[in-house]
Amino acid sequence: MLKLKSISSKLLLFAVFFLLFSFIIISFLFIESNDLKILVLSLSLLFSFIIIYNQIIIPFSDISINFLKNDNLDSSRKLPIYNISELQNISKSYNKLLDQIDSFDSELKDLKNIKNEYNAIISSMFEALVVIDLDGNIIMLNDSACDLFSLKKNNSIGESIFGLIRNSELIEFFELLITKNALGQTDINLIQNDHEKRIDARGSALLDSEGLIMGAVIVFTDITRIHQLENIRKEFVSNVSHELKTPITSIKGYVETLNNVVSDVEHKSFLNIIENNTNRLNTIIDDLLLLSRVEENKNKNKIKFIDCQFSKVIEDSISDCEKMILDNQIKIKVKCDPNIILKQNPRLMQEALLNLISNSIKYSDVGSTIFIDCNLNGKKIELTIKDEGIGIDKKHFDRLFERFYRVSESRARDKGGTGLGLAIVKHIVEMHSGEIYVDSIVDIGTTFTIVFSLDS
């Protein structure tokens, strides 16, 4: 095949016709024989046809055949780079398109793999997953959601979740997610087939590429069995505590009576040991009963809340600790704006502060100072109780608010602790929609911080 450098098709045709015209003129001017003129003319036409056929007709034919046969746009069937500039542009553009399609195919395969992994994860989830749009219509749900709510997947897609699951708490939770655009959590009581279920719902708003809310993603967990066991535990603790209260009180009464009639020193020492341990048991039972009542009222929303000055509750809590303060020569420095008012249950709040202040006194050196600050920070009330005591190692922070957890068994017994005080504090704080934090350095002191939201 005749090879030419890259050239425009117009220029090539011009050159061919010029060459052909030149041969014709030469043949008529310089060749006398008619047969020879015809031969020269024929060869010129043949030569021109060969050039046009090789450089234009064949490439166009190749392009046409490639387009027809490569209907799957296989990247391996690329066009050669032709000598004609216009054909070069077509070849390069076509080849570039094939490369882009090949790249898109690779990305599409990756997306399919991600989708398959995503579907596998969602299908294997124990929790029920539901994705809904702003109208509450179901965009997606997994098998666990179908099992939990007795739904059929194919019939549920595109349907309103509020029509399929009639529950006012679910509607309120959905509205909270799409209005606040934040993570949310709530417990939902669901009646289904004459059976009551307790569902833990956690979700967040679903955002589009521009950050606009387009729906919500909610994960549901059936905690009915856990809730039942928790109720059994609470009832057991409450019943046992009540049953123990009577014999403990009886023992305490007999010990006090014997103390008044026994004169022997050794016998009196035994009676004192019995009395001290009886008082300790009595304190543990009182704390268990208080914790049980707080938990019960917390779940059933039976606690009465009123607007009350925080400074008044702090003063009353300090007054209840007055004997401990005097015995340990503790100085209490309070800084609280009297205008700070919180909707609260004063008796329970006083119980929580009493536990924290008494702990600070117990584990502080004689003559040290306890600082109590209450500040209004925007729409939050921040209360800090800081002591100069023995401190707590950071390894204990995670479990500090658990029932019966003690940083040191011997230290707790020496100070008369039951291991329930901080658990009671946490429950009371949470009942008031607050959060409690601890920060401490060993041999330097401990700071408890409670944060209440005025919005709550």
148: amino acid identity, one letter: L
Residue 346's alpha-carbon distances to 279, 315, 350, 399, 444, in angstroms, are: 27, 12, 6, 27, 31
154-181 CB burial, b ≥16 within 10 A, e <16: eebeeeebbebbebeebeebbebbbeeb
**Side chain identity at residue 234, one-letter code:** K
Contact 436, 449 (CB under 8 A): yes
Helix, strand, coil % in the chain, rounded to nearest 5: 55, 20, 25
**Distance of alpha carbon 144 from the chain centroid:** 20
Q: What's the confidence (pLDDT) of residue 21? A: 66
Q: Distance between CA 54 and CA 2 in Å, rounded?
A: 7
Q: In terms of Cα–Cα distance, which of 14, 9, 13, 10 is closest to 84?
A: 9
Phi then psi dihedrals of residue 332, to 5 deg: -110, 120
DSSP string, 46-111: HHHHHHHIIIIIHHHHHHHHHHHH-TT--TTSPPP--SBHHHHHHHHHHHHHHHHHHHHHHHHHHH
**CATH 3.30.565.10 residue window(s) in the chain:** 304-456
CATH 3.30.450.20 fits 125-222, yes or no: yes
Q: If DSSP codes are grouped into helix, strand and coil, which group holds residue 394?
A: helix
| pLDDT tens, N- to C-terminus, the chain (456 residues) | 444 444 455 555 556 666 666 666 666 666 666 666 676 667 666 776 676 666 666 666 666 666 656 555 555 566 666 666 666 667 777 777 777 777 777 788 888 888 888 878 888 888 899 998 988 899 989 989 888 888 888 888 889 888 888 888 888 888 888 887 778 888 888 887 778 889 899 999 888 888 888 888 999 999 988 888 877 777 777 777 777 777 888 888 888 888 888 777 777 788 888 887 787 777 777 777 777 777 666 654 567 788 999 999 999 999 988 988 999 999 999 999 888 999 888 888 988 999 999 999 988 989 999 999 999 988 899 999 999 999 999 988 888 888 878 776 555 555 556 678 898 899 889 888 899 999 999 989 999 999 998 876
Do residues 109 and 118 make contact, with C-beta atoms less than 8 angstroms apart?
Answer: no
CATH 3.30.450.20 segments of the chain = 125-222
pLDDT of the residue at 2: 42
Say what the pLDDT of residue 104 is: 78
pLDDT value for 4: 44
Q: Specify the amino acid at residue 21.
A: F
Long-range contact pairs involving 412-421 (C-beta distance under 8 Å, separation at least 24): 415/362, 415/363, 416/280, 416/283, 416/362, 417/359, 417/362, 418/280, 418/283, 418/284, 418/287, 420/284, 420/287, 420/288, 420/291, 421/287, 421/355, 421/358, 421/359
Task: Quote the tokens at residue 171.
Answer: 């509607």
Asked if 317 and 394 count as a contact pair (C-beta separation under 8 A), the reply is no
Q: List, by residue range, all CATH 1.10.287.130 domains of the chain.
A: 229-302
Rounded to whole angstroms, the Cα distance separating 342 from 260 reads: 49
Task: Measure CA 219 to chain center.
Answer: 11
Alpha-carbon gap, residue 58 to 8, rounded angstroms: 16
CA distance 223 to 110: 37
Give the per-residue pLDDT at 17.
Answer: 65
Q: For residue 448, what pLDDT is reported?
A: 96
**Residue 282 burial (CB count, 10 A):** 16
342 close to 452: Cβ distance less than 8 angstroms: yes
- Domain 304-456 CATH assignment equals 3.30.565.10: yes
Q: How far apart are CA 273 and CA 275, in angstroms?
A: 5
Q: What is the DSSP letter of 182?
A: S
What is the third-level CATH fold of 229-302? Helix Hairpins (1.10.287)
Question: Rounded distance, CA 332 to CA 158, Å?
Answer: 63
pLDDT of residue 118: 80
213 closest CA partner among 134, 150, 144: 134
Residue type at 227 in one-letter notation? H
Cα gap 126→86, rounded to integer Å? 62
Count of all residues that appear for the chain in the document: 456
How far the first Cα of the chain sits from its last, in Å, is: 87
Sequence letter at residue 387: D
